[in-house]
Chain A
Amino acid sequence: MLEFDDIQHILLTRAPALTGRYEFLSFREPVAGREWVAAIREKVQSAHAARASVETDKRWVSVAFTWNGLRALGVDEAALATFPEEFKQGMATRADILGDTGANHPDKWVGGLAGPDLHAIVILFSRDAAERERSRSEHDKLIGRLKGVEVLSSLDLEATPPFDYAHDHFGYRDRLSQPVIEGSGDVPTRGSGAPLKAGEFILGYPDEDGPPANLPQPEILSRNGSYMAYRRLQEHVGAFRDFLRQHGKTPEEQELIAAKLMGRWRSGAPLVLAPNKDDPALGADMQRNNDFNYKEMDPHGYAVPLGSHCRRMNPRDTAANMNRRRMIRRGATYGPPLPDGIPDDGAERGIAAFVICASLIRQFEFAQNVWANDKNFHELGNERDPIIGSQDGTLEYTIPRRPIRRKITGLPAFTTVRGGAYFFLPGLRALGYLATLGDGRQSRAS
């Protein structure tokens, strides 16, 4: 039985937010940090609370901590040592494993995310801009009261128009393929597979391999927690549109190129089910738009190129142990939209997203290292993920086609990593535990 009243809502619910804000914090004093945790904890909704009032709520708050942040709050060394190695090292230290090289290198990240001072994130998802402003102001007041908690940086989130469906700045419909957690009450859409054991995403529960093992200690700290990999990914919309124009003579051809890079039309319609022509009704139909596989329906990639983003991020029936590689994605777009036909204005815009999973190394890092950035994925030889892979202009993209495949050389980078971090997302009881560390009791690794 999942403890819905202890699990942070972001793990199990998707807030209907159109705006929001992330604030990245540093605790200069453990006491101030704990006071902040105690205060913000009152605002963090559990999955149970968020579900009960999702229609009327206007803001949804989540908090999470880096390993350095847990130490800054006063978690003792014995407990800190029980966390997994990749979390201890942090995302910036794992840059070469993740493909964060060249323009994506942590040296170039913004917002102080690459340094050891990054301790926590507070996510303020908001129904509208007025509510975001209210949340920001409330949080400012809290920070102002506490001497010793510093805001390193922040990022305002904005949905991109049209607002009737979620999509990124490139125009691709998003949120189409999400794993469902067993016991969550959610029902998987057709083609999404059976619900997965909770332990794949929430610490303290059996996972697809058996009972939980090697959990961070003490148990009160890890139970109902999870890990979040944060990625701030700038999208080069001008370069993307130029690329489509360069490789497609007509608007139809350009749409097809966009679809071939992703594996879905920008409407969301999967190429496996609509290989030649976009089908927006299919794209919008959650009961049909995820109902396909690759091994039987498109083994050679004539519909969905073998190296496309969708095929790399979720190879479905063409990869082993898929149930151990799934990830929950949350997040939003940021920056101003770039209207069609307007040259790139140089403003930063992109996706600021979280990958939530029980094992960063087995789930998130595997997807980055092996699926996105292995040049030899599916024997391709000289390709990486065309959307999120580490691209330096020297790689290729192969589009299988009869009689002869089309190969695009010198693929440009459509995205740049501007920041990232590994966070631990504690349950609500664990937040209470962190808030009261040092109040006459110490964390203890059992």
Chain B
Amino acid sequence: MADTARKDNWMKPAAMAIPKEGYFKDKEERGRYGPIFPRTPACHGFTIIAKVKPGREQAVRDYGKSIEAAVAGDPHCLEVLKLHYLRWVLFDINGDTYFMYQGIFDTDFDKYTEDAVALFSKTGITTVFVNLEGFPEDWRTNVPAFIKFVREHQRQSFLEYGEYPYVSADEIKKALRVKAALSDMLDQMQ
């Protein structure tokens, strides 16, 4: 992970062009499951695009509702993924339906992979994945196979931009809490 401190850089918008491999070969860092994708001004993230098995489009779409319910029930249920945003998209190419899972998060995927697989199982996100072509049958017990699927279907960005680069969700929440506390304090002083 490109984990050098960049604490002072959040005021200065930044963009990064990413090579075709998805990482910088001269600065390649190896994680437990393979090369680590770089942290960019838009944090870490992945965009998994895979073909939906025929007839499963509605099943995939229905899981949007189930994730909504899961988060409503336990707002912190996705905490371990260190997410900023998730975007799930369905689209068609030549009559086939494709699913795009796009996540922006604060840790490289390699680090907390096993936690993610465990969470995916618990919240049903993997149940979405089993509707995708090529998803390994033994994903529950075979983390390397799961990761292989993700890596093979990951479409790395070639440009990422951050208006407030390299800021983590935790830092944003901390800043908003400080702002709220300050606002309270000022109210109390009226």
Contacts and interface: CB of A to CB of B under 8 A. Distances in A.
B118 interface: yes
Contacts of B7: 381
A379 B170 contact: yes
A366 B143 CA distance: 14
A370 B112 contact: yes
B186 interface: no
B142 A214 contact: yes
Contact of A213 (B31, B142, B171): B142
A320 B168 CA distance: 19
Nearest to B118: A321
B178 to A, nearest CB: 14
A209 B143 CA distance: 12
Nearest to B6: A381
Contacts of B3: 374-376, 381
Interface in A297-340: 320-321, 324
Contacts of B111: 369-370, 374
B184 interface: no
Q: Name B's interface SS.
A: loop
B1 A209 contact: no
B140 interface: yes
Contacts, number: 59
A96 B140 contact: no
Please tell me the size bucket of the interface on A.
20 to 34
B137 interface: no
A86 interface: yes
Contacts of B32: 86, 97, 361, 365-366, 369
A440 interface: no
Contacts of B5: 375, 381-382
Nearest to A361: B32
Given A210-B140, A320-B80, A369 B4 contact: no
Contact of A320 (B115, B142, B144): B115
A382 B2 CA distance: 11
Interface in B103-117: 107, 111-112, 114-115
Contact of B1 (A96, A361, A366, A376): A376
Contacts of A366: 32, 114
A96 B3 CA distance: 15
Contact of B138 (A85, A209, A213, A375): A213
A295 interface: no
A362 interface: yes
A96 B168 contact: no
Given A324-B118, A374-B3, A382-B4, A85 B144 contact: yes
A324 B141 CA distance: 13
A210 B121 CA distance: 13
B137 to A, nearest CB: 12
B128 interface: no
A314 to B, nearest CB: 16
Nearest to B142: A214
Contacts of A370: 111-112
B29 interface: yes
A370 B80 CA distance: 14
Contacts of A213: 138, 141-142
Interface string B128-159: 00000000001011111000000000000000
A96 B1 CA distance: 12
Contacts of B80: 320-321
B179 interface: no
Interface of B: 1, 3-5, 7, 29-33, 79-80, 107, 111-112, 114-115, 118-119, 138, 140-144, 168, 170-171
11 contacts: A209-B118, A209-B140, A213-B141, A320-B79, A320-B80, A320-B112, A362-B114, A369-B31, A375-B1, A381-B7, A382-B5
Interface of A: 85-86, 96-97, 209-210, 213-214, 320-321, 324, 361-362, 365-366, 369-370, 374-376, 379, 381-382
Please name the 5 residue pairs, one residue from A and one from B, whose CB atoms are nearest each other, closest first.
A213-B141, A381-B5, A375-B3, A320-B80, A382-B5
